[in-house]
Structure 1
Amino acid sequence: METTDIFLALLFGCVGFGYFMHGRRTQNIVTRYCGIAMILYPYLASSTWELLAVGVGLILAPRFIEI
């Protein structure tokens, strides 16, 4: 694992924790599950570009998905 991958995993994990806490506090299920996904997906990503693309997608998902 390269330094970039470790930094991105830490960054998206911290943002995911914030999303999870915000989603739990506001009862927003999309934000909550995007936060959980951001915490867990870095363990499954195989490349830096995949890590970055999925992370940005999960950050933007609550803005466009309304339930």
Structure 2
Amino acid sequence: MDEINTLESLGFTLPTPAYLFGAILFGIIGYVAYRFGKKTTNNYIKWLGVVLMFYPYAVPSTWMLYVVGIGLCGACYYYRDR
């Protein structure tokens, strides 16, 4: 337990379970979108899938993870037929 306190004093914190669940969920959705976009040669969906897979590394808070993820999923839905 001392190691965790030492890391927290240095500014490192562990992500919450909600953040981990969201990162895994949007990563899986991103992978599916990437495969769908590649199969249908839809570049919008393919690149949105890549962004969905990797954006959790750049988003620091849980609420922002879900807002951006839902927005990107909405963009995938919008561009699915193009």
Q: TM-score by structure 1 length?
A: 0.92
Correspondent of 2:48 among 34, 37, 41: 34
- How far apart, CA to CA, are the structure 1 residues paired with 2:36 and 2:29? 10
- How far apart, CA to CA, are the structure 1 residues paired with 2:29 and 2:44? 14
- How far apart, CA to CA, are the structure 1 residues paired with 2:76 and 2:27? 16
- How far apart, CA to CA, are the structure 2 residues paired with 1:22 and 1:39? 14
Q: Paired residue for 1:21?
A: 35
- How far apart, CA to CA, are the structure 2 residues paired with 1:58 and 1:10? 15
RMSD of equivalent CA atoms = 1.3
- Larger CA Rg, structure 1 vs 2: 2
Q: Percent same amino acid at aligned positions?
A: 33
**Structure ranking higher in helix proportion:** 1
Q: Paired residue for 2:58?
A: 44
- How far apart, CA to CA, are the structure 2 residues paired with 1:11 and 1:47? 16
Q: What count of residue pairs does the alignment treat as equivalent?
A: 67
CA drift at 1:37 = 0.2
Q: Paired residue for 2:12?
A: none
Letter in 2 for 1:10: I
Letter in 1 for 2:61: S
